[in-house]
Structure 1
Amino acid sequence: MSAHHPTIFLGGDVMTGRGIDQILPHRGDPALRERAVTDARTYVTLAERASGPIARPVEFAWPWGDALAVLDEYAPDVRLINLETSITGDGQFAPGKAVHYRMHPDNLACLAVARPDVCVLANNHVLDFGARGLADTLDTLAKARISAVGAGPDARRAHCPVSVGAPGERRVVIAAGGMESSGIPRDWAATEQRPGVAFVPDLSDRSAEALAERAVALKRPGDLAIVSLHWGSNWGYSIASAEVRFAHRLIDAGADLVYGHSSHHPRPIEVYRGKLILYGCGDLINDYEGITGFEAYRDELRLLYFATLDPGSGTLVSLRLVPLAAKQMRLRYASSSDVDWLRSTLERVSVRFGTTVQRDAGGALTVSAA
């Protein structure tokens, strides 16, 4: 086998529904059932008030903006995102939910342009339009040859991990699960008779071991195992001791990297026993621009995560973070002051884990552990 160290791109929450869908070439039905907003185009208006007009329709690549050039530059071996949007023109609004996301299937090119290998679906929006919406999402991704993990037509397929080829005849194996703490209703859990998500019921050692084992069971020598976990609150940097224990148990049970998401902003980073834990990657693409209330978290700032791992041991070789900023529903390179803010914030919230964050000459952030 080659000595090549695989680099994995890990993107936070990608929400191409609602306002994003409305600026794309094939916008779907804009109707919403939110308490204050009943038309998805309202979110476009809010973004335009904050940052200026958006000429519509935009090209499919528009929401990714400068992120595409970064992806080309870093050329990761595997690309992984959390797709927090149902891809459907059908289905019924899931009852009892405050927010629903869907993107019209004809806008799939907005995802495909970033060339993701795997879309994680174990989250709190994939069933926003019911079983029909989930089936359409799975079918649309399959036709585009994009693997999906973490949801399916029954429990077996929802919990089934996926693998992606990497240089040197190696593979990256990904298992995914989602928790109620992220907003996933318990009755979204897939069963033998019901479609749904790979639901993780609690923070017990038993649940951690079962989740990690899905990926570990498929590992061959030289393979890497990633556990994707949709968990935790939308806002805030604190990580409960039970959550730390759960993440550690995933590593102890054989995972090489824990890929956490759900928070709308980046959360702490830890290197435990030489292996990477991302407690929350933050949002990557959404329509939150112009929405007020949580400005202190600077959720308009986004990160692209590039983790290089040793295929023999699974340990972290390097982690580079590229800061971007959302403007006019498009990702742009972050300003120097914004990069500095992200660096100091990430280091401050990660200090309990002995993590340090530095800025390199090119403006990217690098992470090291004590």
Structure 2
Amino acid sequence: MTRALSRAGAVLRSHLVLAVLGVVVIVAVLTAVGDFRAVQLTQMAYLGIAAGGLTVLTGLNGQISLGHGALMAVGAYTTALLLQDDEPMLPLLGVLVAATLVTLVVGAAIGVAAARLHGPYLAGATLALAVAVPGIALYFGDTLGGEQGLRVRVPDAPDWVLDLAFFVTGQDLTPSKYVAYLGWFTLVVAYVGLANLSRSRVGRRWRAVRDDEVAAEVAGIGLGRARVSAFVVSAAAAGAAGFVMAVSVRLAAPSGFSLTLSLTLLTAVVLGGLGTLTGALAGAALLTFLPDVITDAGVSAGLDDIRAAELAPLLYGLVMVAVILLAPSGLVGSLRTAWHRLGHTTSKGEPS
């Protein structure tokens, strides 16, 4: 027992050290970039949070979800409902907690209903969720704003935050950078929690269910409980991502949470590498910045703006096929495998 607690404490300390280093990098990057890049980095943050939760669900527990965009919608609409007035009832941190908890409850209900499903059956059920949720916003148009959605009134940064930002960076904190800091600090907290869960006894149960359900059940692991807990954790991350998305876009509308968003999150997880938070973040970065690079390259090649923009989905498909064929463990997973092989070869020494 003492040894297990000591190991858990060591894991937590290492993750906290990485979190502190991450915060330093975040402050340095956001200080150096302008407002446009800050908005892009906020997009990367909320995609990274949702993809981190999805990689826990799919990579560690083996459940395929095509409905995480719908869970983000739950968090975003909860945020919008709480931020309708100029003087909100809760501070932004309280709104974040509320959006996460509401989505967690919805995720628990869905997880219990789908606990007996796995593989393509679960994918089909969550696909139906992704298709249905935007329609719910239209059906309850009087409350949820219908097709136009709900405007999100983000309160100004508190004076102590403005003073702290100026003290640390020597710059005035703009609204775009304020939201970017909020998004990235949320990502850091979410990733510390997800990383500790994945290294804990709960994470080992998730892996056991993923690897061999029969062996896991023989070992006394409840399959339904493990699946529901993974879905709940993943849903909570999606709710936090929906909060960040809502305060960044300043709108919660059905068009923002179509099936495309769910597929985008799954693409980020597959590209980066299943089961790794680093891979989820790398996939989110690719999906955030690659479209602009491709569009600019297309315009430079002589294409008009529309045709240049259409190159991004085509390249996504080609990259996805290439990753599945050449690097089935994802970009980060393949790099780790190559690094371990290189280290193993070096430790053996060169053959004589």
TM-score scaled by length of structure 2: 0.27
Q: Which has the higher contact order (CA 8 A, sep 6+)?
A: 2
Larger strand percent: 1
Name the one with the larger helix percent.
2
**Larger radius of gyration between Structure 1 and Structure 2:** 2
